[in-house]
Structure formats: structure tokens, C-alpha cells
Chain A
């Protein structure tokens, strides 16, 4: 989950691809790079297949490896609307699929009553039927993310649906997510079935705090997202934070990597690497030194125990090791 916005310069114009014109995963690597995301071959292949086969993509991995960012960059690339559904415990159909706009329905009822008998002159039970039809029409339907994702779009570009942190929702929710993802249709009893003309691009992320149900996994393409290797991480920092010098980017990436190997409680993710590099650049640093590492440690290590441990191991040694490792 790399935070931050895309700055001008790396956000090129969307190309309105529907995925069907792609022939090779390397095209995905190039297109994503143009929009500020550096994907490795494995992730690119998974994205390529998700677009070509029209299947949802399930991304699992440590927090901070850039899972959510995949959906964002896909939206920028394809020009589709990004529809985000943040999952949480207890999320249900009313928040994820659709709900009726009850306050407006009540107002409508009162207004209809005040206006007297309808134009058609219907009364009694017929009048009730007429009112019911009016109340349960699309006018009073509140479309939540899942229904929006399968509704027709203005520009005809398939939207990108991001179902974020699905492991936080409960199993009941997974069941109806599966139902919607298997035929991209939603049935509203009062109105009938909505079916997507073009299925959306679906990205589901999970931090793996529990196992996602097998049935859902079978429906999806799966990719386990790893921390990037050293050179890729340097490149990511350079793309996302152009104000950071190459030297600083290399040293920061090397130091972050050594934190990951040290077995911290919360190994820093790419998001932390970028934050840290930005923090140091903001302080006017061109390379790591012990004092500024100490001052900015909180932007990369977010547990007290981890910080204590890093200080105990020696920040001076960390700086030296990072310099050696990055060859600067």
C-alpha cells in the first residue's frame, strides 16, 4: 500500500486498453512503468492474464509491498474509473452492493399523500401498488461499489474494482462477493437483475490475517507479492520521489533491506522506504548519517521495540553497512 499521489511527469495519459490488444506480459511492465509502477515479471504476468482472461486478480503479501497500488495504477493506465471497496468486519450487502435511500423514500411517501390521489385516479390497494413501484425504482436506489462496478459507464471503459483487505471482512461477505464475481450480475428483488456488459477489472487484496476461502481463490488468479529486490526498490524510490538523490535512494534502500533481514516485528515495506527517503530529502540530506537516521527512524520503524533494537544494534554501524552495500 504505497501511499501518496502521482506527481505530474509520471502520470501519462490513459491509453484505454481493454486488455484484449495485449500480447505479452512485457507490454504490461512497460505500460505500468510509464504510469509510475515498477512491476516484476511475475506480477506483470498475473496482471496480463487477469486482463486477457477477464478474471479477478487476488494479491496477497506483507503490508506495504504495493498491493493496493496495483489497482490504482491499472485505473490510471486503462483510464477506467477506480471503484474502491474497503472491507471491514461486519461489512454487508447494504454497504457493499446497494441500499435504498430511505429518507427520500419517506419524503416521497409524504409528498404523494399530500398531493392527494394520483393522476391515474388509482385508489386503495391499487394506489399502494403504484406507490410501491415508485419507491422501489432506480430513482431511490443507492449504488454501492459492487453494483457500481457492474453498471454501464459513461465512457464505455471498464472500471477497475478494488476490493481492499478482503481478509478483514467475514466469511458471509466472501460468499456473496464470490457470487457477484462469478457472473458479474447482481439481483435486486424489487428491480430485477443488473448484469455487466463488460466485466470490470477486479483486484482483490489480502494481508493474509486469515485464509481467504478456497472457492474465491479458485475463481481468481493468484499472486504473492514479495518485497522488491534492491535495484528495483532504488528505482521505485527514484520514480516516486524524484527529489531524492540517487546516492540517498541507494543508501536508504540498503538500510531498509537490512532492517527486513534483521527480523523486525514490522519489516518496513516499500511505502516506508519512500517515506523515509522523502523525510531525509526534506531535511536536505544527500546521504545517510547517524544523526539524521536517528531523527527520522520513526518514518521507517513503527514499533517501539524495533526502534530500540535498531539503536541497540548501532545506527552508526547501520549507516556504514548501508554505504558498503549500496556501493556509494
Chain B
């Protein structure tokens, strides 16, 4: 490896430190790309890296920071360099530290040494109906295991993809008809047919992680993890003061790995909520552009909102216009004297197809049932 190449490889390492996933293939592509530039300038080097090392817009700002830090440390004539001394450490900002602390705390709760082993008769049954808010760390771990068995399947819809049918209706399958005609010397004895395949609808989970949802958000996130890891067409986001996409982080089959990755990615645990704003961002960046179209959208929130209820109503209306069904899961609904008085909840309800509880395992099983149900799109049929 030539000296300049080593510098380039060191830069890719710095990007990895900055949290961007860089497979070896990208390093090779980057080295090759820089090789194709006759006289690499700082800016053409920047853009060669952008084209080969960045694969999603979320990574652009991390790339920019790492690029500045790295190439400030490295003078532009890369040949005159002792590479081994190049080690770029990027400052974590305050937020990151906070998250880490919180994640550590969560880990401490799960530490097996802290566990008191108790023998319970059918713990499953007891846990099923217990409110997540009154769980201890032990029960939460148990619930996590049970949730792994939950399978979330979206309602099905007709796909445009077609396959051979044994029925005698639908469009003719010329491919099979000709194939069979060959055996009979060119006489098409039987006309074969095609039928549309059924595909599950996409399921989108929007999980509120504000302070008031704290007792539930971790359990619900585990539910999201089980859903995302279980099948391909589930997308998960958290909403607090900002919108964070967690599909990638939650896709690990190991719940601890997944939840840790999620904890690292969400910067606004237990902060305030602006549901309207969060939904607006979801609609603008993802939902209306395609992700929510024809999908089952599940919002996990208690509806306590510090934002403007009109904005929330407007965004819910937009969402319900593109989604197949909108399901609102409110853990507080389980309490007998609950009424949707929270302003946000009241504003959102007219645009919700199903309004359900989400405080316990049993209610989450019920939720999975609703998501799977093959009911036609019904409007404004809300059970309060």
C-alpha cells in the first residue's frame, strides 16, 4: 500500500469512529475514486468521499465534521506523512454523554447479579394483564422474552405481481400456455391463467418517547423491536421533541443490542412532546412521500402534547388521507375513568380508525390482532 493510500484508509477509519458504517468495499471504491482524480484538491477529495463513503443523507453532517477534523490534522500533500500518528478523536457532545449514562443505568437494572429469583405460577399469565408502569426490572426482562414471540403481520392487499393460478379466470398466462402447447405439437389445449399475489401491507410504528410516556416507552420499544426484527415491512420511529427513524437500530434480533442501538440514536428520551410537529416531520420526510401510503400506521402515545392541537389535527388528517388505517395506542386508556381530555388526544381522535390500550402484554397481543385484521378501510369508527 502506498503512503497516500494509507492516509485515505485512515480517513475511512475516522469515519467509522464517527459512527458511519463503512464496509471494506467502500474503502476500495474511495481509494479508486481518488486515484481517478488527476490533481485531487481539497474539494474534489471531499466530493469523491461523499460519492463513495456516504450512502444516506443523515450521515452527511457526521461526514462533514470528520472530514474537517481529519484533513485539518493532515496537510494537503499526503505523501509527506507519518500515518501511524494520525488518530482522530471526535468530541462527543453533551447529549451523547447523557444518553450513554442513561443506557448504562438501564443496563445496570438488567444485571443478573441484581436479580431476585422468585418462583411464580405461570408468570406469563400474571404478566399478561399487568400494567407496564408497575413492572420491575425482572418482569420487564420476562416481558421482553414473551414479546419476541409476538408476530406482527400487516393486513394483506393485492400486489401487482402475479403468479400462475390454478383457477380458470383472470388474464391468460401465455408463458405457460405456450410451454404446454409445445408438448401437443403446437395446439394450445388448455389456456392457463394468472392471478394477483397478496402482499402484507407495510406497518409503520410511531412511538412517543416523551416524559409522560416514560413508564411505557421502553416496553413499547421492545415491542417495536420484535416487530421490526420479525419481518421486513415494518418501519419504526420515535417522536419526542424530534423525529428519529429507528428501523435500522431495531432490526437486530438480539433485543439488548437493538435497544442499546436505539437508546444511542434517540436524543430526546423523556423530554417534551410536540406531536403535531413530529407528525408533520414524519409526513413531510417519509409518510406522504410513500412510506405511509396504503400502510397501517400505529401511533403509540398518551396524547399529552405541548404543541398546538390544530397542527396535530391537520397532520393527523394528512396522515389518514394516505394511510390504510391509523391505529392509536394509548396506555392510559386502560384506566377505567379515562377520558380523552388531553387536548392532543381530542384533536387527533376524529382521524383515528382504531383507538386501543397498550399498557400490557395482553393489550399488545390485541393490537397485533387489529393490525393483522383484513378489514376494509373504515373511516371515523372510533371506540372510546
Contacts and interface: CB of A to CB of B under 8 A. Distances in A.
Contact of A223 (B50, B188, B232): B50
A90 B160 contact: yes
Interface of A: 23-25, 41-42, 45-46, 48-49, 52-53, 55, 60, 63, 88-92, 94, 100, 102-103, 105-106, 109-110, 112-113, 128, 131-132, 135, 167-168, 170-172, 207-211, 214, 217-218, 221-224, 263, 265, 305
B186 A100 contact: no
A53 B33 contact: yes
Interface string B284-303: 10101111010000000000
Interface of B: 23, 25-26, 29, 32-33, 36-39, 43-44, 47-48, 50-52, 54-57, 60, 159-162, 174-175, 177-178, 181-183, 185-188, 232, 235, 247, 283-284, 286, 288-291, 293, 314, 318
A94 B291 CA distance: 26
A46 B178 contact: no
A128 B182 contact: yes
Q: Secondary structure of the B side of the interface?
A: helix
* Pairs A-B, 4 closest by C-beta atoms: A209-B290, A90-B160, A109-B186, A102-B174
A49 B178 contact: no
Contacts of A171: 232
30 contacts: A24-B39, A42-B50, A42-B51, A45-B44, A48-B36, A49-B51, A49-B52, A90-B159, A102-B177, A102-B178, A103-B174, A106-B188, A112-B186, A128-B185, A135-B178, A168-B290, A172-B161, A207-B289, A209-B286, A209-B290, A217-B55, A218-B23, A221-B52, A222-B51, A222-B54, A223-B51, A224-B54, A224-B60, A265-B284, A305-B314
A75 B132 CA distance: 60
Contact of A113 (B26, B51, B185, B232): B185
Contact of A106 (B178, B235, B284, B318): B178
Contacts of B162: 90
Nearest to A109: B186
A284 B289 CA distance: 35
Nearest to B43: A41
B38 A23 contact: yes
A63 B288 CA distance: 12
Contacts of A52: 36
A223 B178 CA distance: 45
A117 to B, nearest CB: 12
Contact of A53 (B36, B185, B318): B36
Given A25-B47, A46-B51, A218-B26, A131 B318 contact: no
Contact of B161 (A106, A170, A208, A224): A170
A71 B186 CA distance: 44
Contacts of B291: 209-210
B284 to A, nearest CB: 7
B178 A105 contact: yes
A8 to B, nearest CB: 33
Which among B174, B293, B314, B318 has the highest number of chain A CB atoms within 10 Å?
B174
B181 A109 contact: yes
A167 B291 CA distance: 10
A53 B44 contact: no
A208 B56 CA distance: 10
Which among B47, B60, B160, B183 has the highest number of chain A CB atoms within 10 Å?
B47
A39 B112 CA distance: 58
Nearest to A58: B55
A260 to B, nearest CB: 12
A135 B51 contact: no
B48 A224 contact: no
B33 A92 contact: no
Contact of A46 (B47, B286, B290): B47
Nearest to B47: A45
Given A131-B182, A132-B182, A45 B55 contact: no
A100 B173 CA distance: 12
A49 B60 contact: no
Which among B182, B183, B186 has the highest number of chain A CB atoms within 10 Å?
B186
A164 to B, nearest CB: 14
Nearest to B36: A52
A44 to B, nearest CB: 8
Contacts of B178: 100, 102, 105-106, 109, 135
